[in-house]
Amino acid sequence: MHILVVEDDRDIADLVAHYLRKAGWEATITSAGDEALAYARAHQVDLVILDVMLPGLSGFEVCRALRSDTATAAVPIIMLTARAEEADRVIGLELGADDYVSKPFSPNELVARVRALMRRAKRQEPSESTLRFGPIVMDLSSHTVSSDGRDIKLTAKEFLLLQYLLEHRGRVLSRDLLLGDVWGYRYTGGTRTVDVHVRRLREKLPVLVEALVTVRQFGYKLVDAHEVT
């Protein structure tokens, strides 16, 4: 697995790369946003660890650019920041980041999060390779989603969340359950993460505005398609 580390603090970048290589992965370091974009577009990258504060293009701008490019739209992104404010975390998640780690952080925890994210992104597909819900068609083998015949671009985490919702339609799913089963570990960023991703799915797939029901102070339920008027 090839991981791109985008971090302008060389000491931190070298430390992260060391632990990633120790875990058995290939790690490439870039120190600026434009350099990271050029590298990601020219090479096969399986995951990006992206610092928010970068010279030139910020991490937020890089994240937005990666998500808007078909070739990199589904690449998992973990953002790093020295600022722990919830607003910063929400901005990153809204732009399509899959996870968020605040500095200072444990390199071992970062490696664990990488493992969890890649395990979920590459988990074994069920025997049924196509999931359908109203106008939504989800092809698990090609990792594509369409609605009314129109291709819908989802991030890796949005794709996994939608898959989980379709596979568990009709069930009331708590935010904690979604965090555990979709994110793959005990996420420390809070259940706001789930709400942000649900909102993005509703924006990209309008049928979910009514079909994906909010269960107050608990979680969400995807009702059967025929129940949506």
Provide the pLDDT for residue 43.
92
CB 1 within 8 A of CB 26: yes
Check: pTM over 0.75? Answer yes or no.
no
The one-letter amino acid at 225: A
Provide the pLDDT for residue 86.
63
Distance CA 184, CA 116 (A): 5
- Return the CATH superfamily for domain 2-121: Response regulator (3.40.50.2300)
Q: Could you tell me whether strands 136-139 and 130-133 are parallel, antiparallel, or unpaired per DSSP bridges?
A: antiparallel
Report the half-sphere exposure of 57 (CA within 13 A, side-chain side): 19
Integer-rounded Cα Rg, in Å, for the chain is 18
Provide the pLDDT for residue 124.
44
Provide the pLDDT for residue 146.
94
Q: Could you tell me whether strands 2-6 and 26-30 are parallel, antiparallel, or unpaired per DSSP bridges?
A: parallel
Would you give the DSSP letter of residue 227?
G
CB 26 within 8 A of CB 3: yes
Provide the pLDDT for residue 33.
93
Provide the pLDDT for residue 125.
45
Domains of the chain, by residue range, sit at 2-121, 130-227
Distance CA 98, CA 101 (A): 11
CB 215 within 8 A of CB 223: no
Answer whether 2-121 and 130-227 agree in fold: no
Strand partners, 29: 5
Provide the pLDDT for residue 82.
76
Provide the pLDDT for residue 99.
84
CB atoms within 10 A of CB 118: 18
Residues of the chain where predicted confidence (pLDDT) is lower than 70: 83-89, 120-128, 184-191, 225-229
Closest CA to 46 of 1, 10, 7, 113: 1
CB 185 within 8 A of CB 112: yes
Instruction: Provide the CATH number for the domain formed by 130-227 in this structure.
Output: 1.10.10.10
